[in-house]
Structure 1
């Protein structure tokens, strides 16, 4: 089975672990077409190509990128750029991108022109019913009519699809973590001193980073923040006020992140909901946590988690984390204090988190589910029944040729 995947934007690097897992499955071939990706993604593509002889990727040029518009929906790919080797006809096409994205419309048009009749599946993560300006609603409806199946990552994302009129099959296929990399260190002891609350992500207002700093002062605990963003200066001021108690660490790759997570007594994701206006000033787009992938990474490392009640944070944590009302600093401080003062509770949440990840959120399980869906479609199963069969076990690695983007 030859699977062709399209993906755009700087966050493409988050998918490379899945591509790696897919390439280890025998019997399938994977081809990735990517555009507007980060240098780190290009390096990951090159690493995968060295690791998997059958893997190739094509980094395509683009007319309009995420950096200029502020949103991945407006990325416009130059599929007619410098020609490369012909792409072998795929057995199935999987588009990683929302239905309203310009790049999704382009990918579906490419499939219709070059490989008519090939089954197509589409990723979906939007957990807020957002009414985009024209022409995006038209693109969205076109995608709903064109694809054989949409794969939402959460129940809320599926509810949004239904609210917007999609009536096709929509099995939930969540995001995952590579548990070969993210795993508890052999010597980890939950509740060790000094008690340290950690955060990994963008230092932006909607992530609740400043709330976390205030809560840490109330609890009088250490803080370890990993990432970067517009609030970096304020974090540095907090570190100056509490010398040695607040640490800021730059972004790191997957290989280094488990070590930093292992230094945390508890991981917190105190997100709040905001309205984003960086595409068109008169169009407000609610920004709500669509998944919270780093929660899964922390749980996979045996770190107890605390999260706000925004978006999909409670869904991802399940019974493995403590929830508090978004923006309530005192409530967040209370959850942190509970974990500091009750090692048995911290140990219980750590164990629950490991079980939840291994049951639902490893890339191995996600890859198996995707193979079930794709095998069902390739075998001629209807959209309603695809994904109920047994995976054939192998996925062909993606051929990657990098074209010039300038």
Structure 2
């Protein structure tokens, strides 16, 4: 089964973990078409191509791009005429990108011109119903008509698809983690002070300032991994509390598990904001669409605390604690409870470890994707054919 998948944008490193696992499926040959991706993604694709003979990849030039507009929706492939990605007809076309993305429109146009009739599946993570400016709504409608099966990452993402007009089959498939890499480790720091961790962008909507204030209220250590516009605020906090606030720059997958295992709890204190990076007169609510680092921490046996924004409560489940977004005293109370109740901390860590392995491992995700793809190879279903009522239960079940 030859699967051709497209992926665009700077924050694409985690998809290479999925590609790695997909290539371990005995019947899968994978071709990756990428644009405007990070240097880390390029290096990982090159490494995977050396490891897996059945993986090919093409990082092609792009027009516009996330760097100019601030949004992945604007990325356009610049595929040279006669590029050899079109030479071989795939069995499945999988688009990692929302229905309204320009790259999705390009990919579906390429299918019409070069691989007419190839079954197509679409990743979807939008958890807010957003009305985009012209020409994005038309692209979105056309995409929904062309897609044979959708893979929303959460129930909220599935609900957005339905509200916006996608009526075809769908299977909820969460973002995953490589449980072979992210796992509990002995760090040799058993006598350290209680340490609260954060991994992500240092931006206002990530709640970094709230975390720093809460940690200071209960006098605990903080380990932050990342970068962003609030880096200077993080550095000021480190100067104010020397040795108690430590910051690491972005690290790769080989280093992040060690840092996660050095935390007593990982916090995702996000708040909801309105962004205006498509056009200034249209505000787009920005809520956490998933929170992949929560799963990575759970896979390491680290308990998690998250705000009640977006999909954080769905991902956390019973493996952590939730607090009202922006409520610093409430966050401090949750952290103090974990510090003072070791039995609770150990129980939540064990719950997270089980949850990560049972629901969020990339191997589970790959199995679900491949099951749907193998079924789609049988030409019995057309795009936008609503499933039977009995079929809803299976196709819209959470991949477990």
| Whole-angstrom distance in 2 between the partners of 1:332 and 1:88 | 53
Is the contact between residue 94 and residue 122 of structure 1 (CA under 8 Å) also seen in structure 2?
yes
Distance 1:147 1:223, change over 3 A: same
| Whole-angstrom distance in 1 between the partners of 2:120 and 2:245 | 48
Alpha-carbon shift at residue 279 of structure 1 (Å): 2.4
| Whole-angstrom distance in 2 between the partners of 1:210 and 1:195 | 19
Alpha-carbon shift at residue 82 of structure 1 (Å): 7.4
| Aligned residue runs from structure 1 range 6-405, under 5 A | 6-80=6-80, 83-84=83-84, 86-186=86-186, 193-382=192-381, 384=387
* Structure-1 residue corresponding to 2:3: 3
| Whole-angstrom distance in 1 between the partners of 2:293 and 2:152 | 18
Question: Which deviates more, 119-128 or 9-18?
Answer: 9-18
| Whole-angstrom distance in 2 between the partners of 1:312 and 1:99 | 20
Is the contact between residue 305 and residue 317 of structure 1 (CA under 8 Å) also seen in structure 2?
yes
| Whole-angstrom distance in 1 between the partners of 2:243 and 2:87 | 55
Normalising by structure 2, what TM-score? 0.94
Distance 1:195 1:381, change over 3 A: farther
| Whole-angstrom distance in 2 between the partners of 1:300 and 1:124 | 24
Is the contact between residue 372 and residue 387 of structure 1 (CA under 8 Å) also seen in structure 2?
no
* Structure-2 residue corresponding to 1:400: none
| Whole-angstrom distance in 1 between the partners of 2:116 and 2:149 | 16
Alpha-carbon shift at residue 56 of structure 1 (Å): 1.2
| Whole-angstrom distance in 2 between the partners of 1:197 and 1:360 | 25
2:55 is paired with a residue whose SS is coil
Higher RCO (CA < 8 A, seq sep 6+): 1
2:117 is paired with a residue whose SS is coil
Question: Which deviates more, 225-234 or 375-384?
Answer: 375-384
Question: Which deviates more, 82-91 or 332-341?
Answer: 82-91
RMSD: 1.8
1:215 is paired with a residue whose SS is helix
Alpha-carbon shift at residue 84 of structure 1 (Å): 3.8
Is the contact between residue 76 and residue 103 of structure 2 (CA under 8 Å) also seen in structure 1?
yes
Is the contact between residue 290 and residue 315 of structure 2 (CA under 8 Å) also seen in structure 1?
yes
Distance 1:359 1:32, change over 3 A: same
Q: List gaps (5 residues or longer) in structure 1.
A: 390-406
Alpha-carbon shift at residue 168 of structure 1 (Å): 1.1
| Whole-angstrom distance in 2 between the partners of 1:387 and 1:96 | 24
Is the contact between residue 187 and residue 261 of structure 2 (CA under 8 Å) also seen in structure 1?
no
| Whole-angstrom distance in 1 between the partners of 2:146 and 2:191 | 53
Distance 1:368 1:381, change over 3 A: farther
* Structure-2 residue corresponding to 1:398: none
Q: List gaps (5 residues or longer) in structure 2.
A: 396-400
Is the contact between residue 36 and residue 66 of structure 1 (CA under 8 Å) also seen in structure 2?
yes
Is the contact between residue 374 and residue 387 of structure 1 (CA under 8 Å) also seen in structure 2?
no
| Whole-angstrom distance in 2 between the partners of 1:271 and 1:85 | 40
| Whole-angstrom distance in 1 between the partners of 2:28 and 2:247 | 42
| Cα deviation digits, residues 319-346 of structure 1 (max 9, x gap) | 1110000000000000000000000000
| Whole-angstrom distance in 2 between the partners of 1:320 and 1:81 | 50
| Whole-angstrom distance in 2 between the partners of 1:225 and 1:186 | 20
2:11 is paired with a residue whose SS is helix
Alpha-carbon shift at residue 54 of structure 1 (Å): 2.1
| Whole-angstrom distance in 2 between the partners of 1:279 and 1:297 | 31
| Whole-angstrom distance in 2 between the partners of 1:192 and 1:174 | 36
| Whole-angstrom distance in 1 between the partners of 2:375 and 2:254 | 35
Is the contact between residue 188 and residue 262 of structure 1 (CA under 8 Å) also seen in structure 2?
no
